[in-house]
Amino acid sequence: MNPSADSELKAEVVAAVPAGRNRFYVGLIVAAMLLYPALRTGTDTARQTMVAAMALAAVAYVLGIYLYYGIASLAYRRYAYLLWFGGVGGAVIGYLVTGLDEIWLLICGWSMVFLPGVIMGRMAAEGRRRLTVYLAGAGLAAVFAVALYAPKWAELMHMATALGSMLIQDFTSNLQASGYSAEMVKEYTAALQKLLDVTIRLTPASLLMSGVAQFSIGYLWFYGSTARSNTEPTPMESFILWKMPFAVTGAVIVGTVLRLIGGETITMVADNLLAVLAIFYCVTGLALIEFYMRRLGLPRFMRILFYLLLFFTQLAGFIVTVLLGFVDGFADWRKVGGAKTSFENENGSLY
Residue 191 within any structural domain of the chain? no
Distance CA 315, CA 44 (A): 32
Tens digit of pLDDT for each residue in 252-303? 999 999 888 878 888 888 888 898 899 889 989 999 999 999 998 889 888 8
Count of structural domains within the chain? 2
pTM of the model: 0.75
Same domain, 351 and 335: yes
Q: Where are the alpha helices (DSSP H) in the chain?
A: 3-15, 19-45, 50-76, 80-98, 103-125, 130-149, 153-177, 182-201, 203-228, 248-261, 264-295, 300-312, 315-331
- In this predicted structure, the answer to whether residue 169 has a pLDDT above a threshold of 90 is no
Instruction: Look over the chain and give the mean of its residue pLDDT values, rounded to a whole number.
Output: 81
The verdict on 109 and 9 lying in the same domain is yes
* Residues 86 and 220 both lie in one domain: yes
Residue 184 lies in a domain: no
**Residue 59: which domain range?**
3-148+205-236
Q: State mean pLDDT over 36-47.
A: 72
Do residues 225 and 247 share a domain? no
**According to the model, what pLDDT value does residue 65 have?**
93
pLDDT band at 225 (very low <50, low <70, confident <90, very high): confident
Query: Is the Cβ–Cβ distance between 106 and 59 less than 8 Å?
Result: no
C-alpha distances out from residue 237 to 72, 240, 292, 296, 340, Å: 19, 8, 17, 21, 13
Does one domain contain both 144 and 39?
Answer: yes
Same domain, 98 and 7: yes
Burial 111-144 (b: 16+ CB within 10 A, else e): bbbbbbbbbbbbbbbeeeebeebbebbbebbbbb
Return the sign of the alpha-carbon dihedral for residues 335, 341, 347, 351. negative
Among the three residues 236, 257, 291, which one is the final residue of a domain in this structure?
A: 236
Considering the domain architecture, whether residues 214 and 75 belong to the same structural domain is answered as: yes
Task: Give yes or no: residues 129 and 270 share one domain.
Answer: no
pLDDT in tens, 110-147: 999 999 999 999 999 888 888 889 889 999 999 998 88
Among 236, 258, 283, the domain-final residue is 236
Q: Is the same domain home to 85 and 230?
A: yes
pLDDT of residue 54: 73
